[in-house]
């Protein structure tokens, strides 16, 4: 279905019809926003910029035609598919002449409706930008989320395992929202605690022994741009209090200073720690967590998005290959080995392995042992590697099985989480031999 991954606005005041359409579209992979009147629909469409609007011709506070023209007045209108009774066909045809995409008359079969939806989305579907963070569905969705978040300057907390790409995402957010402005990154775990306050907030001349001149801190250098605080969970309690004050007052004092300095940068924090557990252990302030976690962003680990592994391998090859590089690329076995690896170090580990393989490989093609030299002497290492398609299937089967177990084998919930239709999920379950356990039946 062409609606998978699309954003659809549904304007329908009939609760039974609305619930049915939302359920059907969601199962096909669309994100649906349901509005029951023209007023809320007009506001919602302007904010969400949907890929398609499905609109009843008759609404409690306006008509579908009036809503269409009001949306068009605000700029280029998204495609409109009108749902109409037989008596309103003339009006629906007129709307198509005025720029609407299509109409369908009630009552209709769901299969026919979904076909019309697919057809309506297709002609004006937004151009797909080249991926920056990954080609997997989860990373493309993350890119879209970060692009929306870039429009506001609310504090953002990025979480994820070590090496998953938190700073890369922070830089993407910065570039999407404030290109050409400073991006200042601070690793809170890499700077000694007794120096960190001065490094972040700066200090005045004579503030302490050795302070021979005024020092401009990271917060001041980030003015107009983004201050990125990595490993925020390592921040000492005293600095947590100062950071909270900076967020609340949008101002700070240099160490030894009396005059407040205005802070007008976006604050992005990142951590691989469980901050909720640190709060419970009284190692992190609950009020600070609330303030930095206005917009939470979680990056999935590389092992849960196998489609990104070959894509990242190609990117890293392009970054590290030199004119005299011997290897022309990766062998199929090397790619299969990479897909079979669990990547505990995520993208950072993959980057390091590719860089080392390019530096040390003597052959025309990078082989599994070039990427994983520590496994070179393991029995059956080369023989155990199967085809690339098998490795992809294994990774996909593992993720589907995990989602099924997490959702207690409920097909609808699992399909929604995985971003696929129920039919696709059933097909893959049959293909991989995934059968609901007897204890989950009933």
**Which pLDDT score, from 0 to 100, does residue 125 have?**
40
| Span 50-94, pLDDT tens digits | 889 999 988 999 888 889 888 887 766 788 998 887 667 777 777
Q: Which residue has the tokens 């005024």?
A: 214
Together in a domain, 322 and 243: no
Q: How far apart are CA 309 and CA 148, in angstroms?
A: 26
Domain that holds residue 51: 7-124
Q: How does residue 442 score in pLDDT terms, banded at 50, 70 and 90? A: very low
In a domain, 67, yes or no: yes
The residue among 345, 362, 385 that closes a domain is 385
Are residues 57 and 155 both part of a single domain?
A: no
Q: pTM (2 decimals)? A: 0.61
Residues 171 and 41 in one domain: no
Q: Does one domain contain both 320 and 332?
A: yes
Domain co-membership, 330 together with 403: no
Domain count, the chain: 4
Quick one: 61 and 205 in the same domain? Answer: no
pLDDT (tens digit, 9 = 90+) per residue, 166-193?
999 999 999 998 899 999 999 999 998 8
Is residue 317 located within the same domain as residue 275? no
Q: How confident is the model at residue 124 (pLDDT cuts 50, 70, 90)?
A: very low
């Amino acid at each position: 279905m062409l609606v998978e991954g699309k954003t659809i606005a549904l304007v329908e005041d009939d609760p039974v019809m609305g619930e049915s359409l939302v359920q059907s579209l969601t199962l096909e992979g669309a994100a649906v926003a349901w509005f029951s009147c023209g007023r809320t629909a007009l506001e919602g469409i302007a904010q969400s910029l949907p890929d398609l609007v499905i609109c009843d011709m008759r609404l409690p506070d306006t008509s579908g035609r009036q809503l269409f023209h009001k949306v068009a007045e605000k700029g280029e209108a998204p495609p409109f598919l009108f749902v109409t009774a037989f008596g309103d066909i003339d009006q629906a045809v007129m709307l198509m002449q005025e720029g609407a995409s299509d109409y369908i008359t009630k009552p209709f079969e769901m299969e026919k409706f979904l076909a019309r939806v697919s057809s309506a989305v297709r002609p004006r579907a937004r151009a797909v930008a080249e991926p920056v963070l990954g080609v997997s569905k989860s990373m493309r969705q993350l890119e879209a989320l970060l692009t929306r978040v870039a429009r506001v300057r609310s504090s953002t907390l990025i979480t994820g395992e070590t090496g998953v790409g938190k700073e890369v995402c922070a830089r993407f957010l910065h570039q999407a929202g404030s290109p050409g402005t400073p991006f200042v990154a601070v690793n809170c775990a890499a700077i000694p605690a007794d120096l960190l306050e001065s490094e972040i907030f700066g200090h005045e001349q004579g503030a302490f022994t050795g302070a021979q001149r005024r020092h401009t801190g990271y917060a001041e250098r980030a003015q107009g741009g983004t201050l990125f605080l990595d490993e925020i969970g390592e921040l000492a309690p005293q600095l947590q209090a100062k950071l909270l004050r900076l967020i609340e007052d949008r101002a700070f004092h240099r160490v030894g200073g009396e005059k407040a300095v205005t802070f007008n940068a976006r604050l992005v924090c990142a951590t691989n720690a469980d901050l909720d557990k640190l709060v419970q252990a009284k190692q992190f302030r609950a009020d600070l967590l609330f303030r930095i976690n206005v917009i939470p962003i979680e990056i999935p680990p590389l092992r849960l998005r196998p489609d990104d592994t070959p894509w990242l391998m190609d990117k890293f090859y392009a970054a590290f290959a030199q004119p005299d590089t011997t290897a022309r690329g990766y062998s199929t076995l090397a790619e299969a080995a990479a897909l079979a690896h669990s990547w505990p170090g995520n993208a950072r580990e993959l980057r390091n392995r590719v860089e080392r393989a390019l530096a040390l490989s003597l052959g025309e093609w990078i082989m599994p042992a070039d990427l994983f030299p520590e496994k070179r002497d393991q029995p059956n290492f080369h023989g155990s590697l199967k085809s690339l398609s098998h490795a992809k299937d294994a990774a996909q089967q593992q993720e589907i099985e995990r989602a099924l177990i997490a959702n207690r084998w409920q097909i609808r919930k699992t399909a929604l989480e995985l971003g696929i239709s129920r039919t696709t999920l059933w097909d893959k379950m049959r293909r991989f031999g995934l059968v609901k356990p007897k204890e989950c039946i009933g």
